[in-house]
């Protein structure tokens, strides 16, 4: 449906962020934000149902939301789960609404790798590696990690974690020390998150819509959602769960050995 321009000015834009956050989610959200900017929506509700995702993509979405707030009001609505990278993205909103039972938190960073050395030995497979430096094949799956490599990767994780803590501290008007007190990877209910200052209030997505309308000076009783949906893919046309399956497979392939803000 194509709505008149004046109708959009009285509507609340809505973007769903579901599943693991990676490059495809980033591209879709940035395109949606550009559409919202062009159509001059006064407010946006982000419906987040995500366990997190890649660090860089989460940061780019957050930065885009921060810039978008110069022109419109943004409210995040945490659904069933909004953890780790989902929390990071939520920091880009002016206000955050969560259900009492929402699973959130898991503020931290994880880096995963696989060691298949014993399996490869059993099947008689080995690799010959030529590299320009001692750490070029760090996290290789055919050998154990050295102590030096562990130190390098831990430093990388610590740097990423500090960035996460700083963003939450700024977004929630808390000190970094206060954030670190609960940012140890644990998860919370929405009710617990409210007590910690991680969200602003408890409520449903409709409560988030009403709040966004109030912030934008619209009538909460009249302002309706305008959901910005991505185009359907071939996988979604052929299989009921095609999009979810393909997204998960793509995420697994893209993120092996990549630092993640992900609930595990």
Catalytic option among 136, 150, 229, 232? 136
Residue 8 pLDDT > 90, yes or no?
Answer: no
Q: Which of 86, 57, 89 is nearest to 259 (CA)?
A: 57
Q: Quick check: 145 and 137 in contact, CB under 8 A?
A: no
Cα distance between residue 18 and residue 183, in whole Å: 23
Q: Which of 60, 111, 86 is nearest to 255 (CA)?
A: 111
Helix (H) or strand (E) holding 15: strand 12-18
- pLDDT (tens digit, 9 = 90+) per residue, 85-105? 999 999 999 999 999 999 999
Catalytic option among 11, 84, 140, 160? 84
- Confidence label for 3 from pLDDT (cuts 50, 70 and 90): very low
pLDDT mean across residues, the chain? 89
Mean pLDDT throughout 23-32? 94
Residue 74: C-alpha distances to residues 46, 92, 231 (Å):
7, 8, 23
Buried b (16+ CB within 10 A) or exposed e, 186-212: ebbbbebbbebebbbebbebebbbbbb
Mean pLDDT throughout 138-161? 94
Sequence-ordered alpha helix ranges (H) in the chain? 5-9, 23-39, 55-68, 85-90, 117-123, 147-172, 176-182, 190-196, 205-215, 234-238, 242-255
Residue 203: C-alpha distances to residues 26, 79, 102, 207, 208 (Å):
26, 10, 10, 6, 7
Residue 248 pLDDT > 80, yes or no?
Answer: no
Active site residue 95: no
CB-neighbour burial class of residue 52 (10 A; exposed 0-12, middle 13-18, buried 19+): buried
What pLDDT sits at residue 2?
A: 45
Active site residue 73: no
SS (H, E, C) 20-86: CECHHHHHHHHHHHHHHHHHCCCEEEEEEEECEEEHHHHHHHHHHHHHHCCCCEEEEEEEEEEECHH
Q: Which of 17, 132, 30 is nearest to 80 (CA)?
A: 17
What pLDDT sits at residue 149?
A: 95
Domains of the chain: 5-262 (3.90.226.10)
């Amino acid at each position: 449906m194509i709505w008149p321009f004046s109708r959009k000015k009285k509507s609340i834009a809505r973007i769903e962020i579901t599943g693991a956050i990676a490059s495809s989610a980033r591209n879709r959200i940035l395109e949606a934000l550009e559409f919202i900017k062009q159509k001059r929506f006064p407010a946006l509700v982000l419906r987040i149902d995500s366990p997190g995702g890649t660090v860089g993509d989460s940061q780019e979405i957050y930065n885009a939301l921060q810039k978008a707030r110069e022109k419109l009001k943004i409210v995040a609505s945490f659904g069933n789960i909004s953890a780790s990278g989902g929390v990071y993205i939520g920091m880009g909103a002016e206000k955050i609404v969560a259900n009492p039972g929402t699973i959130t938190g898991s503020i931290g960073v994880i880096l995963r790798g696989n060691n298949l050395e014993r399996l490869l030995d059993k099947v008689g497979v080995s690799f010959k590696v030529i590299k320009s430096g001692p750490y070029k094949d760090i996290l290789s799956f055919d050998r154990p990690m050295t102590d030096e490599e562990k130190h390098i990767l831990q430093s990388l994780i610590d740097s990423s974690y500090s960035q996460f803590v700083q963003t939450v501290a700024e977004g929630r008007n808390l000190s970094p020390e206060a954030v670190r007190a609960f940012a140890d990877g644990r998860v919370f209910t929405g009710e617990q998150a409210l007590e910690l200052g991680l969200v602003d209030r408890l409520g449903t997505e409709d409560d988030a819509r009403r709040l966004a309308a109030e912030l934008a000076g619209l009538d909460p009783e009249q302002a309706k959602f305008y959901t910005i949906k991505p185009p359907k893919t071939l996988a979604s046309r052929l299989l009921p769960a095609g999009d979810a399956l393909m997204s998960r497979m793509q995420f697994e392939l893209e993120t092996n050995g990549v630092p993640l803000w992900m609930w595990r």
